[in-house]
Amino acid sequence: MYRHLSPVGPIDCQVMGWGMWQAKGRYNRVLYVISPLAMLMLWELAVRIGALDHRFFPPPSAIVGVLVETALAGEIFRAAGTSLVRIVAGFIAGAIPGLVLGLAIGVIPLLRSALEPIIYAICPIPKLALLPLIMLLFGLGETSKIVTIALGVFFPVLINTAAGVVGIERIYIDVARSFGARGLDFYLTVALPGALPSVLTGIRLGAGLALLLIVAAEMIAAREGIGYMIWSSYQTFTLEKMYLAFLVMSVLGWLMSVGLGRLEKVLVPWKPGGGGR
């Protein structure tokens, strides 16, 4: 059996492992680029040989053509910009009240008991279901879009903030009390920073909902925006534009995710594995 034991020491093994890992990493990176490109080529090919119906699956080359065309006309930027402005406005209008009320609910048990049942009753209602009501109340203009998104963002931020405050370890509250932190000082030095990781989870959830809601709201009643672009290309049967809208949504979602990642590094630099020192 001894002959199976190679004379290679642990260091050699590690070097081998490291080298293999590096090679693997290289292949992975190449795959990362090649695989989506291959899919697009396959798609193009399938449409050209007639395996895919070009009316429903316009070839990527045609979509790129429309992309250049609408980009030159500024149409695509206007649509994306309109949607983005609505999302950002709705986000601010929903996240800030959610944060403030969440902190208060987390800190004050009386408020928690009073509001929790109401929150848990309203929260499960899909915000899309409220869309007609929101339009009745706020009209067909910008306000109704912003309110829809604000509602979508408000609840996850509220609930996660409150849970974050409740989850702060007791010892930190004891420290704050023993040093005499009261009122606003307590909120700013313990409740808010302690709940912040959880708040960011709420904001992430809210971001996903915001994308969903903006499309729905713009499909129903809007004359601009990404949702409108999807709906109008359905009505005029210009599917290249619809696919372009999908692409924009994908980029928008990715940008939001990257942005929130950055925000987390800035706001929670103290998390292990988080931002700098």
Partner 1 sequence: MEAGGWGKVIGIKVNLSGVTKTYQAGKGFYRALDGIDLNVGRGEFLCLLGPSGCGKSTLLRIMAGLEKASGGRVEVKQDSPANPLCSVIFQEESVFPWMTVRQNIGYGLSLRRVPEAILRAAVDWYMDMVGLYPFADYYPHQLSGGMKQRVSIARAFANDPEILLVDEPFGSLDEQNRVLLQEEFLGIWEGSEKTVIFVTHSIDEALSLGDRIAVMSASPGRIKAEFPVPIPRPRKIPGVRDHEAFREMFQGIWEVLRQEVKRI
Site residues (vs partner 1, CB under 8 A): 171-172, 174-175, 177-181, 185, 189-190, 193-194, 196, 268-272, 277
> What's the closest the beta carbon of residue 97 comes to partner 1, in angstroms?
23
Q: Report the residue number, 103 or 196, with the smaller CB distance to partner 1.
A: 196
Radius of gyration of the chain (CA): 25
Q: How far does the chain reach from its first CA to its final CA, in angstroms?
A: 52
Q: Report the residue number, 116 or 174, with the smaller CB distance to partner 1.
A: 174
> What's the closest the beta carbon of residue 172 comes to partner 1, in angstroms?
6
Apex 209 CA angle, 205 and 212, nearest 5:
150
| Secondary structure (DSSP) of 51-97 | SS-TTTS--HHHHHHHHHHHHHHTHHHHHHHHHHHHHHHHHHHHHHH
Q: Report the residue number, 240 or 264, with the smaller CB distance to partner 1.
A: 264
Q: Report the residue number, 2 or 179, with the smaller CB distance to partner 1.
A: 179
Handedness of CA 49, 50, 54, 58 (dihedral sign): negative
Q: Quick one: which of 210, 235, 241, 252 has its CA closest to 75? A: 241
Q: Report the residue number, 58 or 102, with the smaller CB distance to partner 1.
A: 102
> What's the closest the beta carbon of residue 270 comes to partner 1, in angstroms?
4
> What's the closest the beta carbon of residue 276 comes to partner 1, in angstroms?
10
Query: What is the distance between the alpha carbons of residues 113 and 124, in angstroms, rounded to a whole number?
Result: 18
> What's the closest the beta carbon of residue 106 comes to partner 1, in angstroms?
16
> What's the closest the beta carbon of residue 112 comes to partner 1, in angstroms?
22
Report CA-CA distances (Å) from 241 to 53, 102, 104, 251: 16, 41, 46, 15
Q: Report the residue number, 65 or 167, with the smaller CB distance to partner 1.
A: 167
Residue with tokens 């080298």: 19
